[in-house]
Chains A and B, each alone.
Chain A
Amino acid sequence: MKNSINILAVIGFTSLMMVSCTKKEGCMDPNATNFDATAEKDCCCEYATTFDLKLNLESYVGPTALAEGGTYNVYGTEVQFDLVQMYISNVRFVDAAGNEVASDSYQLVKPENSEYSVGSFEAGNYTKLRFDVGIDSATNHADPSLYPLNDPLGPQFPAMHWSWDAGYIFIRIDAKADQDGDGTTETAFEMHIGRDVNLRTVELDLPLDGAAGNSYTANININWLQFFNGVDLGGALTTHTGDNPALTAILVENITDLFSIAE
């Protein structure tokens, strides 16, 4: 037993000597993801294969930037927007051949925030950006209690989920309209859009030669005026999707028109 300990000690000492006699190996390329400033012998560099994407989403009502609580002219009717929230998910790039690369993320978009990190994408040459307004079916009917409170899919205040018809509220607008034109926004209304069938995919032309390791920001405008296109602003403005199918159909049809690439 004593002999074997001595032998081990000798081996250990010898290997220590060998390391101390060589230059420190490491990646010496500052462009690599594992760059080591203390390395003396270049070795084993690793390079990014993906780029990061942020969405810069600016909300407007017509030409005017949207701030919650503000009053805006909506096709001749004054509307005060108290709450405007929307889920955007499944952001993906499309190449010229039509192939998609996706990142798995869910964003709860609010006017007071403009920048949203939507994750990493495989480097490549792309022509279009696609994303969904809404939540995919499997996730839509899962239990929000399984997410932390600060997660977009976790419980929210104000709520962005229906419990009585289990699923997320894809778009929630709480507002007041001046339907009688007397200068006060007297008619409170709610436009709450959800359910699998109302998920809509937005496609925008966004040519991008996405280089590995880079970060890009896509500047996108959301014009909520478009949401009201074709809506009878003197009529019933409230829908919780199921209780006003006619209004819901008009609003859902308008979803893809909300978005444009910022000039």
Chain B
Amino acid sequence: MSTPRYVHIILTMAGLLGLLLSVDGCTEDNLFEMGGISTLDIPANFPDMPVPDDNPMLPERIELGRALFFDPILSVDSSVSCASCHKPEWAFTDHASFSAGVEGRLGFRNAPTLANVAWAPVMLMDGGSPTLEQQVYVPLEDPHEMDFNMVLLTERLSANTYYTQRFQAVFGTAPDPFGITRALAAYQRSIISGNSRFDRYARKEPGATLTESEERGRELFFSPELSCSSCHNGFHFTSWEFINNGLYTDYGLDSGRARITAQPNDVGKFRVPTLRNIAVTFPYMHDGSLPDLEAVIDHYDNGGQGHPNQDARIKPLGLTSEQKTDLLHFLYTLTDNQFLRNTSLVE
């Protein structure tokens, strides 16, 4: 259904480009360069971005999606937007264990980062949604998040002069579910992070170095003994597997992957999360139950609680306090400050 390709964006609408740049300010962080042909800023060490045939990365779609992402008009009482729980300055996460939806209702999972979500093979921690386009319905219609409905949202946007004009300009139609989902997905695919200190070091860019402690942490992280990188690997520091990391012996109401597959051996399995920008995306785990990275490292050092589905790679590590500090320092190098203050991603 989707064909991977290098995402070159040909800007045919020079007038629109001028508008974008005048709104955003022309900084190095802008998605679009000046000139006739522009390229989405995909880091050199990333694979090609998979893009569905029916949703090319057109600047005007990304812009419309950005407007929708930051607009509380998507929630039933116009109180919360996507950005209420996916805050750009925290790598599109929230610092609450469970974010508040409409009327302060709490969900049951920690808001995940949206950095590099374009490359996710399936959506959600349990893999329940196949595409970014279809995932739009999840927060929109969840009673604990926006508690709204696609039919009603379409009616509301169709009664809104600003959006009727924008959809007409971008899709040539009134607001409809196709345009709403395509625009939001296109914007989210533009949320790209790959310029951490570690990235620059890995790309051997001039002046990019690690301290001695960070370097020791890096070696520990990638060592077969600790096997952190057997799950947190690749350009996005995740294998995208669903695994049980031994957080609990009883997962209670959130069975993770088993919620979708109904298979007992999937209980407690969640998708391996990225470690990009991990220092700013606290709290941790699917339920936000670990407050800081020290607690996360301690969890893996202890080797898990021993759930029947616990992955074999989770085992006691016997780390010294210096090793834990070194690992922590390495994880700090995965923060992409340029991404966190990327004004072009913010409405």
Q: Are B141 and A163 in contact (CB under 8 A)?
A: yes
* A interface: dominant SS: loop
Q: Are A145 and B134 in contact (CB under 8 A)?
A: yes
> How far, in angstroms, from A144 to B180 measured CA to CA in the complex?
12
Q: Out of A145, A157, A242, A245, name the residue touching B178 (CB < 8 Å).
A: A145
A-B contact count (CB 8 A): 65
Residue A152 CB within 8 A of the other chain = no
Q: Are B138 and A164 in contact (CB under 8 A)?
A: yes
Q: Out of B149, B177, B262, name the residue touching A145 (CB < 8 Å).
A: B177
Residue B342 CB within 8 A of the other chain = no
Residue A141 CB within 8 A of the other chain = yes
Give min CB distance, A225 to chain B, whole Å.
28
Which residue on B lies nearest to A155, using beta carbons? B150
Residue A232 CB within 8 A of the other chain = no
A165 contacts which chain B residues (CB < 8 A)? 128, 259-260
A-facing mask of B128-143, CB < 8 A → 1, else 0? 1111011111101110
Q: Are B259 and A145 in contact (CB under 8 A)?
A: no
The number of chain A residues with a CB under 8 A from chain B is 20
B-facing mask of A125-142, CB < 8 A → 1, else 0? 000000000000000010
Q: Are B128 and A145 in contact (CB under 8 A)?
A: no
A-facing mask of B254-281, CB < 8 A → 1, else 0? 0000011010000000000000000000
Residue A8 CB within 8 A of the other chain = no
Give min CB distance, A141 to chain B, whole Å.
7
Give min CB distance, A127 to chain B, whole Å.
37
Residue B154 CB within 8 A of the other chain = yes
Q: Out of B141, B178, B182, name the residue touching A159 (CB < 8 Å).
A: B141
Query: Can you show 29 pairs from A to B with CB atoms below 8 A apart?
Result: A144-B134, A144-B137, A144-B150, A145-B177, A145-B178, A148-B176, A149-B176, A149-B177, A155-B137, A155-B149, A155-B154, A156-B151, A157-B149, A157-B151, A157-B152, A159-B141, A161-B137, A163-B129, A163-B138, A163-B140, A163-B141, A164-B124, A164-B128, A164-B142, A166-B128, A166-B129, A166-B130, A166-B134, A242-B259
